Structure 1
Amino acid sequence: MTGPEESAIGPLGGDGFAVSFPVVALIASAGGVDALSRVLASLPAGLAAAVLIALHQDPANPTGRLTAILARRSVLPVRRAADGDLLRPGQVLVIPPGQHLLVTSQSRIGLIEAGALPPSRPSADLLLASLAVTCGPRALAVVLTGMGHDGQAGVRAVAHCGGTVIAQDQATSKFFSMPSAAIDTHQVDQILALDEIAGAIVAHAGTAT
């Protein structure tokens, strides 16, 4: 029989959320390759948080292209996410084109086929909603440059579960639609210039334990 702090899959954290370390979700669309590269380039080795990358991509794109670009810019290990991967602090996982990523209660990820129709691929809303309910206050959603409003519902989920939300500011965004949609929720904790975001991630990783 499990006790009050356990579930069928193992022990929960003291606050009831399954993932016991910080997890950062960087989401972007148009203009996102440069923005993601600049953020990752400023993150230190040994970052005390797992990092998930969601960039809207054509499913026909080669799956390793984005991963290779980001890996060249980061001192952290960067690799393509695979179904069932265990989340680990100090590791960057890139969601493949044509798939959505969910964070599970076992501190693992699940990949599901996106199909030919919307939502955006990969879906920031699906990622952030699952991150919210598994990480709670240890979740950090970072909404970078992009078109559309993907991530808006996910931002609300992260905030609802006690997590933190950062949006890129208009001056440094190539496309401000996605950050603006996040800001319109009134759930964004900080609006930062692109080159300030890495420092905020490091600060979150050091305090959200």
Structure 2
Amino acid sequence: MTRAADNPIRVMVVDDSAVVRQVVTGLLQAAPDIEVMAAVSDPVLAIERLKTAWPDVIVLDVEMPRMDGITFLRMIMSQRPTPVVICSTLTEKGAKTTLEAMSAGAVAIVTKPKLGLKQFLQDASDELVSTVRAAARANVRRLAPGSGAAPVVASAKHTADAILPAATRAMTTTTERVVALGTSTGGTQALEEVLTALPRVSPGIVIVQHMPEKFTAAFAARLDTLCHITVKEAEHNDRVVPGRALIAPGGRHMLLKRSGAQYHVEVVDGPLVNRHRPSVDVLFRSVAKSAGANALGVIMTGMGDDGAAGLLEMRNQGARTLAQDEESCVVFGMPKEAIKRGGAERVVALSGIASEIQRQLL
């Protein structure tokens, strides 16, 4: 639910590009429930404006003169935690920098190209507005240093039918176990907490975290340095084995496949599903088809409903299914919808998910 026009979401835009400031301000101001209270060229000017008024959401560039966005973000999160949306250039170098911003507590990412910027921002107006609205509702208390979140992507809404048909029969139970995790806004924080708590001997894990291309490789590499298990961006035909987590690459769908007693992943192109690529519903449906009762499905913090239908399909095929509880979510949208549809067998706190994963080995 959005706010009334007489109580709008107050936004500050901080970007050294005059074009970005102008276009972003115009797009946000066109929404009846959003008011841009300030648009400034760097964090130093933003700090001056914050002395007189504080926004509900800050839209922030990363690379700027006088003070970089990450330093400013850390200052904000330490003094007065506020939802921050990073507006970042979609490059490999930019991905690593943006991950630092996510680690410092950013709520979401909106990516922007180096060329055709004005037209891109206009085309992505729905994404920008929905991201700001989601940020305004975010539980920033969950975004302590070391946290982060995911982008919201807007487009035509397809279901998982666009990629693969639903399962028609349950898979035979075997000793091989698979854990499927799906998450979005707030998910980088949640995944870090879960994966770093796992010992080296853990079930094979497949993950969809809503994130743009070029960002998932850097994200997986960062987690790999922090975790006892191996974490990598998935490649086509990668094996799903104990002690390894595979993260779907941004911009492509990931499916679980079974060959004999072994599991592997397929990385495929295709339309956006639930406005996302990769889509949690696509992964969960493939797990329902290929693993059935051999799987555990977990839907975690995120905006929207991606994964809710797939989690129910997993449960109907005999898998155990969990949803993260509201208190520990940054945004409760995805788990809430999964619970509403009956896909979640149980609701658990973020702190309990790692132990649930370990139980898969019993």
- TM-score of the superposition, structure 1-length normalised? 0.85
**Residue 112 and residue 19 in structure 1: after superposition, are their counterparts in 2 closer, same or farther (change >3 A)?**
farther
Q: 5 Å matches for 1:136-155?
A: 136-155=292-311
Q: Give the structure with the higher percent helix.
A: 2
Q: Which residue of 2 aligns with 1:94?
A: 247
Moved more, 79-88 or 111-120: 111-120
> Matches of 2:293 and 2:215 in 1, distance apart?
35
Structure 1 vs Structure 2 CA RMSD:
1.8
* 1:80 counterpart letter in structure 2: E
**C-alpha deviation, 1:117, in angstroms:** 7.5
Matched, 1:203 2:359: yes
1:80 to 233, 237, 252: 233
Higher normalized contact order (CA 8 Å, seq sep 6+, divided by chain length): 1
- Distance (whole Å) between structure 1 residues aligned to residue 300 and residue 174 of structure 2: 24
Range 105-114 or range 87-96, more displaced: 105-114
Structure 2 unaligned blocks of 5 or more: 1-169
Could you tell me how far apart the structure 2 residues matched to 1:36 and 1:58 are? 17
Q: Specify the code of the residue in structure 1 equivalent to 2:182.
A: I
Deviations 1:104-138 (A, max 9, x none): 13222111114567541211111111101111111
Q: Does 1:130 align with 2:286?
A: yes
Q: Corresponding residue for 1:171?
A: 327
Structure 1 stretches of 4+ with a deviation exceeding 2 A read: 15-20, 114-119
Provide closer, same or farther for how the CA distance between residues 62 and 171 of structure 1 changes in structure 2, counting only shifts above 3 A. Answer: closer
Shift of residue 200 of structure 1? 0.9
Return the alpha-carbon distance in structure 1 between the equivalents of residues 316 and 244 of structure 2. 26
Matched residue count:
190
TM-score normalised by length of structure 2: 0.50
Equivalent residues of 2:273, 2:282 under 8 A apart: no
Could you tell me which runs of 5 or more consecutive residues in structure 1 were left unpaired when the two chains were aligned.
1-14
Between the aligned partners of 1:166 and 1:62, the Cα distance in structure 2 is 27
- What is the SS of the residue equivalent to 1:33? helix
2:216 corresponds to 1:33: no
1: CA distance between counterparts of 2:201 and 2:275? 34
Assess, with a 3 A threshold, how the Cα gap between structure 1 residues 55 and 114 changes in structure 2: closer, same or farther.
Answer: farther
C-alpha separation between the residues in 2 aligned to 1:133 and 1:19? 14
